[in-house]
Amino acid sequence: MTSLADALDALVAAARKAGLDEAAARAEGEAVAATVSERSRGAFVDWCAQTGRERSAEEHMLAAKRGNRFRAGPTPLMASLLLAKSAESADYAGALADVALAGSALGEPGPDAVGAATTVTTAQLGGSPASASLTPSSAAPGAFDLPPRQPVPGLGDQVLDQVRRVGDQVRRQLGALNGAAPGSSPVTDEPAGAGDAPPAADGVQTQAAEPATPPAEEAKPDEPVKTVEELLAELDALIGLADVKAEIHRQAAVLRIEGLRKKAGLESPTITRHLVFNGNPGTGKTTVARLVAGIYRALGLLSKGQLVEVDRSELVAGYLGQTAAKTVEVVKSAEGGVLFIDEAYSLSGDQYGKEAIDTLVKEMEDKRDDLVVIVAGYPLPMAIFISENPGLESRFRTTIDFADYTDDELAAIFASMVGAADYDAGEPVLARLREILAGTERGPSFGNARFVRNLMEAAIGHHAWRLRDIAEPTLDELRTLLPEDLASDTDLEPPAEVPPTEPVDPFPAPEEES
């Protein structure tokens, strides 16, 4: 099996070929491997060794936190390739899948790592349900012809094959979307099964024909941009978020009329487009931000409509002076779209964060015609963060509050996620989910949709684990989750951590005489 170090090198090579930043690609890969392996005991030791770091559970944990969002959507570099409809997107997605697979084998791997690797891999298509199919019946002939590999101790071959199958499908689907010839491999640019006869439409092998002169490639028309109405319909289809939907509808209406007034030569007050999203984790802030980017593009307010999601670590550097350059580079990547800063209040409190904020305010002013910034986080820290900086307070005048989901909404979200991944979860599974939700404490750190996504990932891994000794599982067995696949978060093995060192008391109390 490919080591994480080799998988990361291959990812950097794919980035180089695609003209992407190599250091950013390696950082994405390290975060993917960390988030996949965060629940595997001792994984941080292998992760640090493979990435060339000093042994540190904290480094692994921070990287896992950065990579957590890649379970729900493509990485920033992957998103840029998809947005540009790049022919290199399949190669890069395949390299990310290999990194996820390598990450699932770190430490003492278990089913949770397999579920996370599967989710990360499918997310690189942008959450397309079609990419999540895990069953052989939905794939082209030969889609599951996997290269030979060495078994990983503790993981059945079938369990690892699950991640490999998904990675293979992501490569093939992206290759098809980018106009690759049927039967070609977007990973190697070599025809699948070179030297063999090509399969017929029904999958039956036929006599190899003489190679024909390929027709001249026709220019592919640009994909039509979704209308405001289509994007608002997608917003309305989201589960819950009634107040959020109403506010986004209002914003869209106001900005549309402002645009029409300008076109008619009428005076219009300048309306701040930047937004504050208040809410606990997993309440749909990133999903809505992505739709807002599309809506603003459809209204003609943004030229591209991409979403670039970052946190403090991607804006702040280790030395004064470097932070400004780093922030400028991030803003440049978001120009024409939306820059989404999660936990933005983490920029407060030190000179490095202040440098990032000051640079951000200047960039927002310089690029005000083609950039929208959305800052997000917990309500109270966000209110303090905005009020403490006059430059931010004047630019962020609209705040949207994201309420926690109810149990019924979380059950519906879980069912939607499971269906998108081409699994079946019947009422007994949903009943088990409601039991887990009823027994889970709801504090400010409760993960909402992220919590049920973690449960789904664990269930996918446990499902594969349950079938690992079945040589030829049926289609029904491949798709059906059972209540026992759904373990509560407290049942899941926590990630291994370095045990704290007991402090030495320089003045110990005298021992009592017996």
Note whether 304 and 336 are within 8 A (CB): yes
Determine the 3-state secondary structure of 89 from DSSP. Answer: helix
- In a domain, residue 20? The reply is yes
Give CA–CA dist 3/5, Å, rounded.
5
Domain end (from 162, 177, 192): 177
Q: pLDDT tens for residues 502-514?
A: 333 433 444 444 3
Q: Are strands 424-425 and 480-481 parallel, antiparallel or unpaired?
A: parallel
Residue 285 confidence class, pLDDT cut points 50, 70, 90: very high
Angle CA 54–60–64, to nearest 5: 155
Residue 94 is predicted with a pLDDT of: 87
Same domain, 302 and 417: no
* Same domain? 357 vs 447: no
Average pLDDT, the chain: 77
463 with 337, same domain: the answer is no
277 — phi, psi (to 5°)? -105, 110
Burial string for 43-61 (b: 16+ CB within 10 Å, else e) reads: bbbbbbebbeeeeebebbe
d(CA 315, CA 325): 9
Q: 3-class DSSP state for residue 133? A: coil
Using DSSP's 3-state secondary structure scheme, residue 514 falls into: coil
The CA-atom distances, in angstroms, between 49 and each of 40, 52, 353, 467 are: 15, 5, 30, 32
Mean pLDDT over 359-375 rounds to 91
CATH of the domain at 461: 1.10.8.60
Classify residue 72 by its DSSP letter: T
- 328 and 413 together in one domain: no
- H-only helix segments in 403-505: 407-420, 427-438, 449-466, 475-479
Is 131 within 8 Å of 74 (Cβ atoms)?
A: no
How many folded domains does the chain comprise?
3
Domain shared by 56 and 130, yes or no: yes
Residues 213-253: pLDDT tens digits? 444 444 444 556 789 999 999 999 999 999 999 999 999 99
Q: 12 and 65 share a domain?
A: yes
Check residue 279 and report its DSSP letter: E
| pLDDT score of 223 | 55
Question: Which DSSP string corresponds to 174-189?
Answer: HHHHTTPPTTB-TTTS
Residue 227 inside a domain? The answer is no
**Confidence at residue 393, expressed as pLDDT on a 0 to 100 scale:** 85
Q: Predicted confidence band at 147 (pLDDT cuts at 50, 70, 90)? A: very low
| Helix count and strand count (H, E) for the chain | 19, 7
Confirm whether 185 is domain-assigned.
Answer: no
Residues 252, 159 within the same domain: no
Residue 501 lies in a domain: no
Q: Within this chain, do residues 465 and 420 fall inside the same structural domain, yes or no? A: yes
Q: Are 401 and 243 in contact (CB under 8 A)?
A: yes
Nearest C-alpha neighbor of 434 from the set 465, 455, 420, 419? 455
Count the residues in the chain.
Answer: 514
Residue with tokens 């990287």: 63
Q: Name which residue leads in pLDDT, 87 or 318.
A: 87
Does a structural domain hold residue 184? no
The verdict on 30 and 172 lying in the same domain is yes
Tell me the pLDDT tens digit for each residue of 21-42: 899 899 999 999 999 998 888 8
Q: What is the largest CA-CA distance in the chain?
A: 98
Q: In a 10 Å sphere around its CB, with 0-12 CB exposed, 13-18 middle and 19+ buried, how is residue 15 labelled?
A: buried
Degrees to nearest 5, angle at CA 196 with 162 and 90: 45
Report which DSSP code applies to 215: P
* Cα 43 from Cα 489, distance rounded (Å): 19
Of the chain, the percentage scoring pLDDT greater than 90 comes to 34
Put residue 85 in one of left, alpha, beta given phi > 0 → left and psi -120 to 50 → alpha.
left
Last residue of a domain, one of 132, 160, 177: 177
Domain boundary (373, 402, 431) is at 402
Q: Are residues 290 and 414 in the same domain?
A: no
169 in a domain, yes or no? yes
**412, 465: one domain:** yes
In this structure, what token pair is assigned to residue 464?
């594969």
pLDDT of residue 180: 46
pLDDT at 67: 87
Note whether residue 512 is domain-resident.
Answer: no
- Nearest of 399, 393, 356 to residue 378 by alpha carbon: 399
The CA-atom distances, in angstroms, between 450 and each of 488, 495, 498 are 14, 17, 26
pLDDT at 134: 29
Residue 219, in any domain of the structure? no
CATH number of the domain residue 315 falls in? 3.40.50.300
Chain centroid offset of residue 341 CA: 15
Average pLDDT over residues 92-115: 86
Which DSSP state fits 136? G
Q: Identify the domain containing residue 266 by its residue range.
A: 241-402
The confidence band for 164, taking pLDDT boundaries of 50, 70 and 90, is: low
Dist. CA 348–CA 357, nearest whole Å: 8
Same domain, 253 and 336: yes
